[in-house]
Structure 1
Amino acid sequence: MDLTILAPNPLLLICAVIFDGLIGDPVYALHPIRLVGATLSFFERVLRGLRLDGYVGGCVLFCVLAAFWMGLIGALAIVLHSVQAEIGWLFHAFVLYSLIALKDLCKHGLAIDRAADLDGARQATAMLVGRDIERMDAAACRRAGMESLS
Protein backbone atom coordinates (compact mmCIF):
# COMPACT_ATOMS: atom_id res chain seq x y z
CA MET A 1 0.00 0.00 0.00
CA ASP A 2 1.43 3.34 -1.10
CA LEU A 3 1.15 5.92 1.70
CA THR A 4 3.05 8.71 -0.06
CA ILE A 5 -0.21 10.59 -0.55
CA LEU A 6 -0.26 11.17 3.22
CA ALA A 7 3.24 12.65 3.35
CA PRO A 8 3.53 16.43 3.73
CA ASN A 9 3.69 18.03 0.33
CA PRO A 10 4.72 21.69 0.08
CA LEU A 11 3.52 21.92 -3.53
CA LEU A 12 0.00 20.82 -2.57
CA LEU A 13 -0.04 23.30 0.28
CA ILE A 14 1.15 26.13 -1.96
CA CYS A 15 -1.54 25.27 -4.52
CA ALA A 16 -4.20 25.20 -1.80
CA VAL A 17 -3.11 28.59 -0.45
CA ILE A 18 -3.09 30.08 -3.96
CA PHE A 19 -6.58 28.73 -4.70
CA ASP A 20 -7.82 30.06 -1.38
CA GLY A 21 -6.34 33.48 -2.13
CA LEU A 22 -7.87 33.58 -5.59
CA ILE A 23 -11.25 31.98 -4.97
CA GLY A 24 -11.86 32.03 -1.22
CA ASP A 25 -13.45 29.35 0.89
CA PRO A 26 -15.74 27.08 -1.12
CA VAL A 27 -19.35 27.09 0.07
CA TYR A 28 -21.12 23.77 -0.31
CA ALA A 29 -23.23 21.48 1.85
CA LEU A 30 -20.54 18.82 2.31
CA HIS A 31 -17.78 21.24 3.31
CA PRO A 32 -15.34 19.42 5.61
CA ILE A 33 -15.84 21.88 8.46
CA ARG A 34 -19.63 21.47 8.29
CA LEU A 35 -19.18 17.70 8.34
CA VAL A 36 -16.77 17.89 11.27
CA GLY A 37 -19.24 20.10 13.13
CA ALA A 38 -22.10 17.67 12.55
CA THR A 39 -19.91 14.76 13.61
CA LEU A 40 -18.79 16.67 16.70
CA SER A 41 -22.42 17.24 17.69
CA PHE A 42 -23.19 13.55 17.23
CA PHE A 43 -20.20 12.33 19.25
CA GLU A 44 -20.88 14.95 21.91
CA ARG A 45 -24.45 13.66 22.35
CA VAL A 46 -23.18 10.09 22.59
CA LEU A 47 -20.53 11.01 25.16
CA ARG A 48 -22.97 13.05 27.23
CA GLY A 49 -25.35 10.09 27.16
CA LEU A 50 -22.50 8.08 28.66
CA ARG A 51 -21.99 10.86 31.23
CA LEU A 52 -18.62 11.67 29.71
CA ASP A 53 -18.75 15.42 29.73
CA GLY A 54 -16.48 18.00 31.24
CA TYR A 55 -12.72 17.74 30.86
CA VAL A 56 -12.52 13.97 30.32
CA GLY A 57 -15.38 14.03 27.84
CA GLY A 58 -13.74 16.89 25.98
CA CYS A 59 -10.47 14.97 25.73
CA VAL A 60 -12.27 11.85 24.53
CA LEU A 61 -14.29 13.93 22.05
CA PHE A 62 -11.13 15.48 20.63
CA CYS A 63 -9.42 12.10 20.24
CA VAL A 64 -12.45 10.41 18.68
CA LEU A 65 -13.15 13.29 16.33
CA ALA A 66 -9.52 13.60 15.23
CA ALA A 67 -9.13 9.85 14.72
CA PHE A 68 -12.41 9.59 12.82
CA TRP A 69 -11.75 12.43 10.39
CA MET A 70 -8.03 11.86 9.94
CA GLY A 71 -8.73 8.19 9.35
CA LEU A 72 -11.57 8.83 6.92
CA ILE A 73 -9.78 11.51 4.89
CA GLY A 74 -6.55 9.51 4.93
CA ALA A 75 -8.30 6.34 3.80
CA LEU A 76 -10.11 8.19 1.01
CA ALA A 77 -6.86 9.75 -0.16
CA ILE A 78 -5.12 6.37 -0.16
CA VAL A 79 -7.95 4.66 -2.06
CA LEU A 80 -8.22 7.44 -4.63
CA HIS A 81 -4.45 7.53 -5.03
CA SER A 82 -4.38 3.77 -5.58
CA VAL A 83 -7.05 4.09 -8.29
CA GLN A 84 -5.18 6.89 -10.01
CA ALA A 85 -2.43 8.98 -8.46
CA GLU A 86 -3.67 12.24 -9.95
CA ILE A 87 -7.14 11.76 -8.46
CA GLY A 88 -5.58 11.20 -5.05
CA TRP A 89 -3.47 14.35 -5.36
CA LEU A 90 -6.47 16.40 -6.52
CA PHE A 91 -8.53 15.13 -3.60
CA HIS A 92 -5.72 15.95 -1.18
CA ALA A 93 -5.32 19.43 -2.66
CA PHE A 94 -9.06 20.07 -2.52
CA VAL A 95 -9.28 19.02 1.13
CA LEU A 96 -6.36 21.29 2.00
CA TYR A 97 -7.92 24.15 0.04
CA SER A 98 -11.25 23.61 1.78
CA LEU A 99 -9.63 23.74 5.21
CA ILE A 100 -7.45 26.83 4.82
CA ALA A 101 -10.17 29.50 4.45
CA LEU A 102 -7.69 32.30 5.11
CA LYS A 103 -9.21 34.70 2.58
CA ASP A 104 -12.70 34.42 4.06
CA LEU A 105 -11.37 34.53 7.61
CA CYS A 106 -9.64 37.83 6.87
CA LYS A 107 -12.72 39.13 5.05
CA HIS A 108 -14.96 38.38 8.03
CA GLY A 109 -12.43 39.86 10.45
CA LEU A 110 -12.26 43.08 8.44
CA ALA A 111 -16.06 43.25 8.32
CA ILE A 112 -16.11 43.55 12.11
CA ASP A 113 -13.68 46.45 12.01
CA ARG A 114 -15.48 48.16 9.13
CA ALA A 115 -19.00 47.77 10.51
CA ALA A 116 -20.91 51.05 10.55
CA ASP A 117 -22.67 50.36 13.83
CA LEU A 118 -22.84 47.92 16.73
CA ASP A 119 -25.50 45.74 15.08
CA GLY A 120 -23.31 45.42 12.00
CA ALA A 121 -20.31 44.52 14.14
CA ARG A 122 -22.36 41.90 15.96
CA GLN A 123 -23.59 40.37 12.71
CA ALA A 124 -20.05 40.30 11.33
CA THR A 125 -18.85 38.70 14.57
CA ALA A 126 -21.54 36.03 14.27
CA MET A 127 -19.90 34.93 11.02
CA LEU A 128 -16.79 33.96 12.98
CA VAL A 129 -17.94 32.80 16.40
CA GLY A 130 -20.63 30.59 17.81
CA ARG A 131 -21.13 32.51 21.03
CA ASP A 132 -23.98 34.83 21.97
CA ILE A 133 -23.39 38.15 20.24
CA GLU A 134 -26.37 40.05 21.61
CA ARG A 135 -24.55 41.20 24.75
CA MET A 136 -21.31 42.13 23.01
CA ASP A 137 -20.23 45.73 22.79
CA ALA A 138 -17.97 46.95 19.96
CA ALA A 139 -14.79 46.13 21.89
CA ALA A 140 -16.01 42.58 22.59
CA CYS A 141 -16.78 42.14 18.88
CA ARG A 142 -13.25 43.24 17.99
CA ARG A 143 -11.75 40.91 20.61
CA ALA A 144 -13.79 37.99 19.30
CA GLY A 145 -12.62 38.80 15.79
CA MET A 146 -8.99 38.94 16.88
CA GLU A 147 -9.34 35.64 18.75
CA SER A 148 -10.72 34.04 15.60
CA LEU A 149 -7.99 35.50 13.43
CA SER A 150 -5.25 34.34 15.77
Structure 2
Amino acid sequence: MTEDRKRLFLVQVRGLVADERDLHYADFQDGALGPHMDVTPIVPTFSGIATPLSSLLEMCKPLTECTHAVFHASDEFQATVPVGDLGQALLLFQQDGEPLKKGFPVRLLVPDGSSDCLNVKSVVRIEFVKHTAPEQEATFGFKNMVSPAEL
Protein backbone atom coordinates (compact mmCIF):
# COMPACT_ATOMS: atom_id res chain seq x y z
CA MET A 1 0.00 0.00 0.00
CA THR A 2 2.84 2.43 0.80
CA GLU A 3 4.34 2.00 -2.67
CA ASP A 4 0.93 2.78 -4.21
CA ARG A 5 0.70 5.97 -2.14
CA LYS A 6 4.18 6.99 -3.21
CA ARG A 7 3.32 6.31 -6.85
CA LEU A 8 0.01 8.24 -6.65
CA PHE A 9 1.50 11.19 -4.76
CA LEU A 10 1.15 14.35 -6.88
CA VAL A 11 0.87 18.02 -6.01
CA GLN A 12 0.59 20.39 -8.97
CA VAL A 13 1.88 23.97 -8.73
CA ARG A 14 0.29 26.26 -11.31
CA GLY A 15 -0.57 29.87 -12.07
CA LEU A 16 1.49 33.02 -11.67
CA VAL A 17 4.85 31.36 -11.08
CA ALA A 18 8.07 31.37 -13.07
CA ASP A 19 8.31 27.57 -12.84
CA GLU A 20 5.19 25.39 -12.77
CA ARG A 21 5.85 21.99 -11.22
CA ASP A 22 4.41 18.54 -10.66
CA LEU A 23 5.74 17.49 -7.26
CA HIS A 24 6.07 13.85 -6.27
CA TYR A 25 6.81 12.16 -2.96
CA ALA A 26 10.53 11.99 -3.76
CA ASP A 27 10.65 15.79 -4.15
CA PHE A 28 9.51 16.10 -0.55
CA GLN A 29 11.29 13.08 0.91
CA ASP A 30 14.69 13.74 -0.69
CA GLY A 31 14.78 17.32 0.56
CA ALA A 32 14.47 19.10 -2.79
CA LEU A 33 11.90 21.26 -1.01
CA GLY A 34 14.04 22.55 1.80
CA PRO A 35 14.59 21.26 5.32
CA HIS A 36 12.47 18.60 6.96
CA MET A 37 10.82 19.73 10.17
CA ASP A 38 8.98 17.94 12.97
CA VAL A 39 5.64 19.79 13.10
CA THR A 40 4.74 18.92 16.71
CA PRO A 41 6.73 21.79 18.33
CA ILE A 42 5.11 24.25 15.88
CA VAL A 43 1.57 22.84 15.69
CA PRO A 44 1.11 20.60 18.77
CA THR A 45 -2.11 19.01 17.48
CA PHE A 46 -0.22 17.42 14.56
CA SER A 47 2.65 14.99 14.25
CA GLY A 48 4.83 14.19 11.30
CA ILE A 49 7.38 15.69 8.98
CA ALA A 50 6.81 18.83 6.94
CA THR A 51 8.70 21.17 4.70
CA PRO A 52 8.37 24.94 4.89
CA LEU A 53 6.18 26.39 2.16
CA SER A 54 8.90 29.01 1.71
CA SER A 55 11.04 26.35 -0.01
CA LEU A 56 8.23 25.79 -2.54
CA LEU A 57 8.05 29.56 -3.09
CA GLU A 58 11.81 29.63 -3.74
CA MET A 59 11.52 26.73 -6.18
CA CYS A 60 8.54 28.00 -8.18
CA LYS A 61 9.12 31.75 -7.84
CA PRO A 62 5.68 33.43 -7.73
CA LEU A 63 5.54 36.44 -10.03
CA THR A 64 5.39 39.94 -8.54
CA GLU A 65 1.72 40.39 -9.51
CA CYS A 66 0.72 37.28 -7.52
CA THR A 67 -1.35 38.22 -4.45
CA HIS A 68 -2.78 34.89 -3.24
CA ALA A 69 -2.27 31.14 -3.28
CA VAL A 70 -5.28 28.88 -3.73
CA PHE A 71 -4.91 25.45 -2.14
CA HIS A 72 -7.19 22.94 -3.87
CA ALA A 73 -8.05 19.77 -1.96
CA SER A 74 -9.09 16.46 -3.48
CA ASP A 75 -12.59 16.80 -1.96
CA GLU A 76 -13.23 20.17 -3.72
CA PHE A 77 -12.43 22.19 -0.61
CA GLN A 78 -10.21 25.17 -1.28
CA ALA A 79 -8.53 27.88 0.73
CA THR A 80 -7.32 31.18 -0.68
CA VAL A 81 -4.48 32.61 1.37
CA PRO A 82 -2.70 35.96 0.89
CA VAL A 83 0.92 35.32 -0.07
CA GLY A 84 1.96 37.45 2.91
CA ASP A 85 0.39 34.88 5.29
CA LEU A 86 2.53 32.02 3.96
CA GLY A 87 5.81 32.91 5.68
CA GLN A 88 5.43 30.31 8.45
CA ALA A 89 3.24 27.87 6.49
CA LEU A 90 4.21 24.20 6.27
CA LEU A 91 3.38 21.29 3.99
CA LEU A 92 2.97 18.13 6.08
CA PHE A 93 3.80 15.15 3.86
CA GLN A 94 4.93 12.27 6.08
CA GLN A 95 3.98 10.46 9.30
CA ASP A 96 5.83 7.50 10.75
CA GLY A 97 8.23 7.48 7.80
CA GLU A 98 5.42 6.99 5.25
CA PRO A 99 3.17 9.20 3.10
CA LEU A 100 0.19 10.59 4.98
CA LYS A 101 -2.79 8.29 5.48
CA LYS A 102 -5.14 11.12 6.49
CA GLY A 103 -4.69 14.24 4.42
CA PHE A 104 -2.83 12.58 1.51
CA PRO A 105 -0.85 13.77 -0.38
CA VAL A 106 -0.03 16.90 1.68
CA ARG A 107 -1.68 18.96 4.38
CA LEU A 108 -1.22 22.72 4.52
CA LEU A 109 -0.60 24.09 8.02
CA VAL A 110 -0.63 27.86 8.58
CA PRO A 111 0.23 28.30 12.27
CA ASP A 112 0.00 32.10 12.33
CA GLY A 113 -2.32 32.98 9.44
CA SER A 114 -5.20 35.45 9.50
CA SER A 115 -7.84 32.79 8.84
CA ASP A 116 -9.79 30.44 11.10
CA CYS A 117 -8.91 27.74 8.56
CA LEU A 118 -5.34 27.02 9.57
CA ASN A 119 -5.02 23.66 7.85
CA VAL A 120 -6.20 22.15 4.60
CA LYS A 121 -5.99 18.39 4.13
CA SER A 122 -5.45 16.50 0.88
CA VAL A 123 -3.97 19.38 -1.11
CA VAL A 124 -3.52 18.26 -4.72
CA ARG A 125 -3.00 21.62 -6.45
CA ILE A 126 -1.54 24.97 -5.43
CA GLU A 127 -2.47 27.81 -7.74
CA PHE A 128 -0.88 31.25 -7.51
CA VAL A 129 -3.28 34.00 -8.57
CA LYS A 130 -3.84 37.74 -8.62
CA HIS A 131 -6.98 39.18 -7.08
CA THR A 132 -7.92 42.61 -8.40
CA ALA A 133 -9.20 43.62 -4.94
CA PRO A 134 -7.02 41.58 -2.58
CA GLU A 135 -8.76 40.50 0.60
CA GLN A 136 -7.00 41.18 3.88
CA GLU A 137 -7.76 37.71 5.19
CA ALA A 138 -7.82 34.19 3.87
CA THR A 139 -11.05 32.62 2.62
CA PHE A 140 -12.05 28.99 2.49
CA GLY A 141 -14.90 26.64 1.62
CA PHE A 142 -16.14 24.00 -0.74
CA LYS A 143 -16.46 24.73 -4.44
CA ASN A 144 -19.99 24.37 -5.68
CA MET A 145 -19.43 22.20 -8.73
CA VAL A 146 -22.82 21.95 -10.43
CA SER A 147 -23.04 21.39 -14.14
CA PRO A 148 -25.76 23.14 -16.18
CA ALA A 149 -27.37 19.72 -16.78
CA GLU A 150 -27.81 19.24 -13.01
CA LEU A 151 -29.74 22.52 -12.56
The TM tier, using the shorter chain, reads under 0.3
User: TM-score, normalized by length of structure 1?
Assistant: 0.22
Q: Which has the higher helix share?
A: 1
Q: Which has the higher strand share?
A: 2
Of the two, which has the highest radius of gyration? 1
